[in-house]
Structure 1
């Protein structure tokens, strides 16, 4: 039996196989699958001569979907679909081994096969065993088949002490794939991806809890502000500088010649700490602070960030060698809840999952009232739509030797520092500052 497949579902199952240059030639018109998703099918249309075509995919020995049959130059959508259905009916009778290509190195990648003793498993990794997060787990299970463990310890760290950092890398992989960027077989930096608009190298970094526990988030409002404007930027500075002045400068590798270099930062140093990330990273990398005084915007240059005995100079993009960094990428919503929401969208997980999402969005594009606006969404409701890149902020280096083309990361919020300290924003239609997801399970029907 053949069933219609949503674009979201197809992307989650096989989107990692797309070749950007092919997408410049064809438009995908419809997606299908056998009821067990053993075979996938896609009907295409040529962008130039408007002929129709199709392709059928099946899993190889590493459980990655690969092309098994195809045709083109058909006169109509209906003719292409009928021919594709006939091919799928023929292929469904084949054994799994008929789809193996013989070029796979190693077995299928499995993030969830035990690599550590139970007492070493990260609490958040164990959360993925809960029905509430089954959508995230199943989405990752589809994604993991295509992920290359370059350093050989990704899975062990994902299950134990490095869960947050490895989750951030997975997010970047999913986000760049959605943006039409294909991963190249390069080990350093973490991701080198290429699309129709060019190539970019991305190095991931996370702010983690201090080994000594660090400072706790104060309950007193005055102390909390000092912590947010002092301690948080200090941690941001040290994370970014660790990548800027890495012993092996990332931009010096041959594969990075002429390529934009981006540092992708996420903050996991305290529960929900990423909700303050955007304003603090913006102030630190640009070295400016915007505020409203007596109803008027005030712009001031920042010389340093200080918290107790900790001091870091401001203006990351003004540091020595920082001209080799094209931009800093952040996304406060790039967390485990993002994976769960995206999984629900793609039809993964328990049908009992209910997710209520609430947050604050930017309102500059609203007529008459440009201030921040609260929003509420039901993720499990029909019509809900979210992109992997939603919530992302790209802070462009005004001094970059190789600037980043914003077209490489569409639907992000791109920020540019002007000479007078103003910041120009290229906003998507909807951009959340941050959000919170409340996930529950409905009663059994």
Structure 2
């Protein structure tokens, strides 16, 4: 099988995505090697993937990550069909369509952020991220109902929507809050949690305000409206930071700050680790959110892995989460560039 060539430019430089251009810089060869590993066995079925990867980057980057995750799960991928994005064989076949939560029209992209983009109001930040996730979900559901479900190879087969967040600068700061609100109608509200609380305040939500007069329904898996969607895959951490984390580059002057659940406090566990000592798994930060109303539910055993989170809603409405104690909630990377007699902190352009 011919290996897909992602790094020979096929579009003019002025049409290349800024993150792709940065990826092509010689010092980023270790990061390119990570993507090349993800792409091993991937097929450009319509002959457009390489061009779109170089021009738009994020959606193709997410597809390549999913391809790698499916290999990690040992789930066989049937590449004979052009749609949906992945057709999974094995003991319980299902289809996957990948999408990203993209910026609203006129919104800032996920790359090229600065300190000015750090949100003042995280509640509003989370609401807007939730709306973008719902928008992406809705678009793929409509596509499935109009087209995918009528394909012969998709007949009576479970359907999964895989969503990654690239909807704004620093989108990864939102962590799991938007997806849990969008899918299960549960919002964890750190802003309203008292400082002396032992658990984060959470409550049920049924809609998010798009404008002063328009609300968008959330809690997409709280009834049978979307019973034809079996699950959602989600990550906010398949970013440039994931490449930095997985790249074999022991001399890199990088410090990883990571956030993890803390059973003893409402404050997360925070770790600061130099690159030479840092370890992150491909699957860290990945979630599988099951639809309790699915007509064709997927077995949790299919996705069993010690580094991921799986979630569903019990019959009494309780959110059931199965995740490692050190599940990766968020990650930031500081990079230091040698300059003169010492090191200078460098602000990266793509989101971490």
TM-score range, shorter chain: 0.7 to 0.9
Render the CA deviation track for 1:8-46: whole Å, top value 9, x for unaligned: xxxxxxxxxxxxxxxxxxxxxxxxxxxxxxxxxxxxxxx
Question: Secondary structure of the equivalent of 2:247?
Answer: helix
Q: What is the DSSP-based 3-state SS (H/G/I as helix, E as strand, rest coil) of the residue aligned with 2:36?
A: helix
Spell out the pairing of 1:32-51 with structure 2 (5 A cutoff). Answer: none
2:227 equivalent among 299, 323, 332: 323
Report the 3-state secondary structure (helix = DSSP H, G, I; strand = E; otherwise coil) of the residue aligned with 1:203. strand
How many angstroms apart in 1 are the aligned matches of 2:157 and 2:173?
31
Partner of 1:307: 210
Matched residue of 1:262: which SS? strand
Does the Cα contact within 8 Å between 1:353 and 1:441 map onto a contact in 2? Answer: no
Q: Matches of 1:387 and 1:418 in 2, distance apart?
A: 29
Q: How many Å separate the matches in 2 of 1:340 and 1:165?
A: 19
Task: Report what 1:427 is aligned to.
Answer: 323
Q: For 1:120-199, what aligned pairs fall within 5 Å after superposition? A: 120-160=15-55, 162-185=56-79, 186-195=81-90, 198-199=92-93
Q: Which residue of 2 aligns with 1:213?
A: 107
Query: Alignment partner for residue 358 of structure 1, among 227, 248, 257?
Result: 257
8 Å contact 2:127–2:178 — kept in the other structure?
no
Residue in structure 1 matched with residue 292 of structure 2 by the alignment: 398
Q: Is the 8 A contact 2:313 2:319 kept in 1?
A: yes
> Taking structure 1 as reference, are residues 184 and 406 closer, same or farther at Cα in structure 2, changes over 3 Å only?
same
CA drift of 1:151 comes to 2.3
- Relative contact order, CA 8 A, sep 6+: which one is greater? 2
CA 1:331 to 1:260, structure 2 compared with 1: closer, same or farther past 3 Å?
same
Given candidates 113, 130, 136, the residue that maps to 1:233 is 130
In the alignment, which residue of structure 2 is the partner of 1:52? none
What is the match of residue 151 of structure 2?
253
1:340 aligned onto 2:244: yes
1:283 aligns with 2:181: yes
Distance 2:36 2:108 in 1: 35
User: Is the contact made by 2:234 and 2:287 (CA closer than 8 Å) also made in structure 1?
Assistant: yes
Q: How does 1:73-84 map to 2 (within 5 A)?
A: none
CA contact (8 A) 1:133 1:340 kept: no
Whether contact under 8 Å (1:134, 1:340) holds in the other structure is: no
Match of 1:47 in 2: none
Deviation at 1:340, TM superposition (A): 3.2
Change in 2 beyond 3 A, CA 1:359/1:236: same
Structure-2 residue corresponding to 1:6: none
Question: What's the secondary structure of 2:320's corresponding residue?
Answer: strand
Q: Is the 8 A contact 1:234 1:312 kept in 2?
A: yes
What's the TM-score once normalised by structure 2's chain length? 0.81
The answer on whether the counterparts of 1:244 and 1:321 sit within 8 Å (CA) in structure 2 is: no
- Give 1:109 shift: 2.1
- CA change 1:129–1:298 in 2 (3 A) is closer
What is the alpha-carbon distance in structure 2 between the residues aligned to residue 328 and residue 376 of structure 1? 31
Larger radius of gyration between Structure 1 and Structure 2: 1
Match of 1:29 in 2: none
Is this contact kept in 2: 1:361–1:434, CA < 8 A? yes
| Equivalent-residue separation in structure 1 for 2:43 and 2:131 (angstroms) | 33
* CA 440–198 in structure 1, closer or farther in 2 if over 3 Å, else same: farther
Q: State the distance in 2 between where 1:320 and 1:166 align.
A: 31
User: Is the 1:135–1:341 contact (alpha carbons within 8 Å) kept by the matching residues of 2?
Assistant: no
CA RMSD, Structure 1 to Structure 2 (Å): 3.0
* Pairs aligned (count): 325
CA–CA separation in structure 1 for the residues paired with 2:331 and 2:124: 21
More strand by share: 1
Decide whether the 8 Å contact of 2:261 with 2:325 is kept in 1.
no
